[in-house]
Structures are given as C-alpha cells and as structure tokens.
Amino acid sequence: MVFSVSTAFAEAEVTGKIVHESAKFTTSGITIGAASSHGKDVMKTETSARILLMATLQKMPRFM
C-alpha cells in the first residue's frame, strides 16, 4: 500500500523601513500665498512604515 503526503517548505525574508519626518518654522513670518502669518509652529509631521515580505513556496511530495 502506498500513501502520498504533501508537505510545503517556505523560505521567507522580511525587510522593513520606518521613516519619521518633521519640519518646524525657525522664525515667525508669512509663507508664500498665505493669508495670515505663522509663529514658530510645526510645519509638518509624517511617520510611515514599509514592510516587504518575499517568500518561495515549494511543494515537496513524500511517499510512505
């Protein structure tokens, strides 16, 4: 009697990158096209994360 069983083998690689960006006005004033002035405020804040998963899946037959 022959039994057929399948198993899977996975090889994975995970890479990632986390970025935080921020900018602040160093002096008070008016920016181009602005209707009002600003103080020494935070102009922008952004945080982002990128995750990449690469994997190879191979099906390996086994006989018992």
Start-to-end CA span in the chain (Å)? 9
pLDDT at 3 over 70: no
Quote the pLDDT of residue 11.
76
pLDDT digits (tens, 9 = 90+) for 10-60: 678 889 999 999 988 888 888 787 777 878 788 889 999 999 888 776 666
Angle at alpha carbon of residue 25, lines to 35 and 43, rounded to 5°: 70
Pairing type for strands 4-24 and 42-63 reads antiparallel
The reported pLDDT for the residue numbered 5 is: 53
Range of the domain at 53: 4-63
Number of domains observed in the structure of the chain: 1
